[in-house]
Structure 1
Amino acid sequence: MAHSEFIQVKRLRGELLLSQKRNHWGCTLTTKELIFQKPHLSYHLLLDDIIGIVPFHPKHGPGAEGWISPWETPDPSASTYKITANRLTIIRRSGAVRRGQTDLILPLNQRFLRYFREHTDFTALPTKVHL
């Protein structure tokens, strides 16, 4: 097996729906969980723990002072979303840490959102678009 900077996910719960890897990030969606990966770090969320996903528009854009991008090379077709969850597990090579209620800000592309919408019982609500 070739060396990968991504931490291997040993067991997935549920059926695999979508798995994407792009340069410096990866995303796996099953019928039970979401896993977001970047080199040497993974975020694991059970779908039952997710409270909501909403578009996120940072006050400062990439390159602006004070902006810290959570992803080094986001997918150009992705938009940024804030996922609020009751629980989140952060997995590093040194071990895993569970967090309580938290927000996770990530780039999500339309393909991922379509699969999420089609295979979960979440309700999509219209959001206000800022131009």
Structure 2
Amino acid sequence: MEITINYYGQAVSVSVEVYEYLTQADHKAENLAHEQRRHWDGRECDEYIISTEGRLSYCATPEELVCQRETLDEILAVLALCTPTQRERFLLYALYDFSYAEIAEMCGCSKYAVRDSIVAVRKIFQTFFRK
């Protein structure tokens, strides 16, 4: 099936597939122009275009990787100061989002003991990072 469209001032007969492709391209161009107007910082707009178009994945800079590694090392150093029980309860709470009652059931203790362990780990973190 052929469709006649006005393309740059001329009547052109195209197939349905070509028409759909051109329509989709026009919509993408409109969306990108809108995003460019929305963002005053060109870098934000470029990140938006890259993420929506899916051409490049995000890659951390070497500085970001070093900072992430340093932060991870600090967290592991603090967790090394905790007892194994405190560490287990804190990770279940912080990483896996279990409630005090759920952790108490898994560990076979009261939820108050779980709370005390988590509070102790938090205090260790606070004293470690104040130094």
Q: TM-score, normalised by structure 2?
A: 0.20
Between 1 and 2, higher relative CO (CA 8 Å, sep ≥ 6) is seen in 1
Which has the larger share of helix?
Answer: 2
Q: Which has the larger radius of gyration?
A: 2
Which has the larger share of strand?
Answer: 1
